[in-house]
Amino acid sequence: MTLAVEALPREAPIPSSSRLRIILVRHGRPAIAINPRTGHHGFRRYIDAYQDAGLDPKSAPPEELIDLVKGLNSVFTSFSPRARDSARTLLPEAELIADPLFAEAPLAAPRIPLLKMKVPVWAVMARILWHAGYHPEIENYRRAKARAEAAADILLQRAEANDGDVVLVAHGYFNAMIGRVLRRRGFSRTGSHRVRFWNAVIYERDALPIALPRLGRRLRRRPKWIGRAVASKSAS
C-alpha cells in the first residue's frame, strides 16, 4: 500500500472523535550490546551493527503501553529491524506500515584518534557535531527537519481518517523532532522524550477541519531521497 497523496481532498473531514491523538513510541531494546567502550573506528562499526540489529527477544513492551495502544488497527514504523520488530511485538494483529520517512536522524563517527569512550558518550558527541554541521555522507539537520515535517503530515492525516488515533513506533531522536513539529501545530504533550526503550509520548489536539491544499503540497514535496510508504500485514 502506498500513501495516496495526490488523492487528498480539499478539506479533511472532521473525524468521529473530537480529539486527535498521536502516540510516538521509541523501539524496544535492540539485540546488541548497548554500552561497550570503543574508539572512533569501533564506533563507526557499531553504528552499522546497531542499524542492522533486531529487537532483543527479552525486551517486552510495558503493560501500560500495551493498554495505551489497545484496539488500534494499524501502526507506523521505519524500515529498521529493531523498529519493525518492536511494532509487531506491540501490535501483533495490526497492519504494519513501514516507511523510510520515519528513520532515525543519522550519526557519523567523529574522527578523534587515541580516544576510547563508551558508545552512549560517542553518540552524544556525534549528535552535537551533527547539529554543528558535521554530516559526512549522511543526511544533514536541515533535511532531517524537512523529513520530520513530512512525517508529521502523514501521521496527522492518518489520525484524521482513523477515529483520531495513530501510533508510530520508531526512534528516540527523530520522534522528538516530529514532536517539536506537532507542538508548533497546537498539540499538547503528555510525557517526555527520554533515552529509554519503549518510551511513549502522547500528543493531543482538538480535531478541527483543516484545509489541505497546503498539506497536499508539503506531502508532494517529500524529499527525493525518501522512498514511498510500504505497508504489510504483521504476519509477513
pLDDT in tens, 107-146: 999 999 899 999 999 999 999 999 999 999 999 999 999 9
Tell me the pLDDT of the chain averaged across its residues. Answer: 86
Q: Are 16 and 165 in contact (CB under 8 A)?
A: no
- Please check whether residue 154 lies inside any domain of the structure: yes
Q: Are 117 and 137 in contact (CB under 8 A)?
A: no
Work out the pLDDT band at 202, boundaries 50, 70, 90: very high
- Please check whether residue 221 lies inside any domain of the structure: yes
Work out the pLDDT band at 209, boundaries 50, 70, 90: low
Report which of 235, 170, 156 is spatially closest to residue 198, judged by C-alpha positions.
Answer: 170
Collapsing DSSP states into helix, strand and coil, what is residue 72?
coil
- Please check whether residue 170 lies inside any domain of the structure: yes
Q: What is the pLDDT of residue 163?
A: 82
Residue 77 CB contacts under 8 Å (≥ 6 apart), including other chains: 83, 84, 86, 87, 96, 97, 98, 99, 102, 168, 169, 170
- Please check whether residue 223 lies inside any domain of the structure: yes
Q: In what helix (H) or strand (E) does residue 77 lie, and over which residues does it extend?
A: strand 74-77
- Please check whether residue 96 lies inside any domain of the structure: yes
Work out the pLDDT band at 229, boundaries 50, 70, 90: very low
Percent of the chain clearing pLDDT 70 (strictly above): 81
CATH, residue 160: 3.40.50.1240
Q: What is the pLDDT of residue 219?
A: 46
The whole-number average pLDDT for the span 152-179 is 95
Domain residues for the domain of 155 are 19-31+62-104+139-233
> Is pLDDT of 82 > 90?
yes
- Domain count for the chain, please give it: 1
pTM: 0.83
- Please check whether residue 57 lies inside any domain of the structure: no
- Please check whether residue 128 lies inside any domain of the structure: no
- Please check whether residue 176 lies inside any domain of the structure: yes
